[in-house]
Amino acid sequence: MSTATTHDSTLSTKDPEVAAWLQREDRRQRATLTLIASENHCSAAVREACSSRITDKYAEGYPNRRYYGGCEVADGIEDLARQRAMQLFAGAEDANVQPHSGTTANLAALVALAGPGGRIVGMALKAGGHLSHGHDRSHTGMLFAAKQYGVDASGRIDLDEVRRVVKEHQPKVVIAGGSSYCRNIDYAAFAAIAHEAGAVLLADIAHPAGLVAAGVVPSPVGIADVVTMTTHKTLRGPRGGMILAKKEVAKQIQSAVFPGSQGGPLMHQIAGKAIAFGEALRPEFRDYQRRVKENAAWLAQCLVERGLDIVTGGTDNHIVLVDLRKTDSTGAAIEERALAAGLAVNKNAVPGDPRPPMVTSGLRLGTAAVTTRGFGRDEIAQVAVIIDGLVKGQDPERHRAAVQSLCERFPLP
Ligand SMILES: Cc1ncc(COP(=O)(O)O)c(C=O)c1O
């Protein structure tokens, strides 16, 4: 495996301290089942590109319009990544692969579309939105005049509430998408609400990007004016962001990314994105995403059958949000106990959560990473038994051997 070889052959002699940390992370990932919905395991090919020599190259600007010489390889890689992105997200009129992350993609899109101090509307963090959708602790809440919408008592987006907030606030940008929202989003309805108010629609598909690319959940491409995403969650690429834009706004987006909010692009990450998009264009990827979605629906069903509450009662994507309010547990307590058993999960607020964000009454689970390992129905059912047991107070140690056996039977790519 390339990373392990690099640690062993070079890094361990040049810098044993860092090598030891990285080897420890290799071991941690191998021995842990990742059920964190925003994580996945990218391929060895992607990791190889991310640690390649092109990390040294400065390439400020865009292909054929750079501020430094020697960018012919950077140009080739960025063009390839853009072409593959547009092939993958059919109907995309422009792709910008330079954003360093999902947050910088959103910041750039908002700078381009709302302008400094401009009004924006997004989903509240505690309802399932993301910090970068106008939360007051994020630059997007500090630099723009943000108002937020929530979800109804069942945990679903209430389009009448969205319309009411948009009519009242008269934003330039409406944001659809979230971090712990497990249901399909009606992008056409969102676009109608935004356009009626003279706003543009930004769809943030950071979470379901891979499912969207594979066509197993609805796509906002061709409906939303701008689509932002991360490349490292369900899309299974390297850490990074991307923006798809309609022709009319593509130039504004381009200059809001560079020079607006970033300097030189991370060319090694862009090479990794190109590889991941190539992988996602293969038929196996569609099959993988179908299994991610089926596994999540099955996980939700198994947990419900064991008596746990799931926000909205199920899921349409890779996310399952467990509501612990009727149990004695908190999200923080189960996160810690799960880790002791070898499961990585994260505490998460549920709609209407009375507990603070570092405690919460919810648990967010995702099936992208374990499906990459090859999990099917039997293994997911086993995971559900373990989670239910932990919620009911069983000793995590009791499950450690079963988790280890799953990790060994289903190794990392
Ligand atoms: C909906 C959404 N947008 C944006 C982001 C930000 O991505 P990053 O962590 O790469 O900045 C996330 C990350 O979890 C997200 O869930």
Of 43, 50, 97, nearest to 288 by C-alpha is: 43
Distance in Å, CA 140 to ligand 1 centroid: 13
Mark whether 233 is an active-site residue: yes
Distance between CA 97 and CA 237 in Å, rounded? 12
Mutation pick for ligand 1 pocket among 38, 97, 103 (CB with most ligand atoms within 8 Å): 103
Distance in Å, CA 42 to ligand 1 centroid: 17
| Protein residue with least CA distance to atom 9, ligand 1 | 102
| Atom in ligand 1 nearest the alpha carbon of residue 100 | 10
Distance in Å, CA 131 to ligand 1 centroid: 8
CA angle, 207 then 213 then 219, to 5°: 75
Distance in Å, CA 39 to ligand 1 centroid: 11
**Considering the chain, what is the average pLDDT of its residues?**
96
Query: Contact, 391 vs 9, CB < 8 A?
Result: no
| Atom in ligand 1 nearest the alpha carbon of residue 241 | 10
Mutation pick for ligand 1 pocket among 106, 140, 230 (CB with most ligand atoms within 8 Å): 230
Give me the catalytic one of 66, 84, 163, 233: 233
**Residue matched to tokens 């197993």:** 216
CA angle, 197 then 202 then 204, to 5°: 145
Query: Contact, 175 vs 103, CB < 8 A?
Result: no
Mark whether 204 is an active-site residue: yes
Mark whether 60 is an active-site residue: yes
Please name each of the domains of the chain with its CATH number.
53-280 (3.40.640.10), 290-409 (3.90.1150.10)
Give me the catalytic one of 204, 279, 353, 379: 204
Distance in Å, CA 341 to ligand 1 centroid: 27
Give the strand pairing for 200-204 and 145-149.
unpaired
Which residues of the chain have a pLDDT value below 50?
1-6
Cβ neighbours, 10 Å, residue 362: 24
Give me the catalytic one of 39, 60, 79, 309: 60
Distance in Å, CA 9 to ligand 1 centroid: 34
Distance in Å, CA 399 to ligand 1 centroid: 31
- pLDDT score of 9: 72
b (16+ CB within 10 A) / e for 398-412: ebeeebeebbeebee
- pLDDT score of 264: 98
| Atom in ligand 1 nearest the alpha carbon of residue 178 | 1
Cβ neighbours, 10 Å, residue 1: 13
Q: What is the pLDDT of residues 308-334, one digit of tens each?
A: 999 999 999 999 999 999 998 999 999
Give the strand pairing for 241-245 and 65-66.
unpaired
| Atom in ligand 1 nearest the alpha carbon of residue 104 | 11
Mutation pick for ligand 1 pocket among 38, 97, 123, 130 (CB with most ligand atoms within 8 Å): 130
Distance in Å, CA 27 to ligand 1 centroid: 26
Q: Which residues line ligand 1 (CB under 6 A)?
A: 38, 101-103, 106, 130, 132, 177-179, 204, 206-207, 230, 241
Backbone angles phi, psi at 310, to 5 degrees: -120, 130
| Sequence-ordered list of residues with C-beta below 8 angstroms from that of 90, at least 6 positions apart, any chain | 221
| Atom in ligand 1 nearest the alpha carbon of residue 129 | 1
Mark whether 239 is an active-site residue: yes
- pLDDT score of 267: 98
The pTM of this model reads 0.96
| Atom in ligand 1 nearest the alpha carbon of residue 232 | 10
Q: What is the pLDDT of residues 249-294, one digit of tens each?
A: 999 999 999 999 999 999 999 999 999 999 999 999 999 999 999 9
pLDDT over 70, % of the chain = 98
| Protein residue with least CA distance to atom 4, ligand 1 | 102
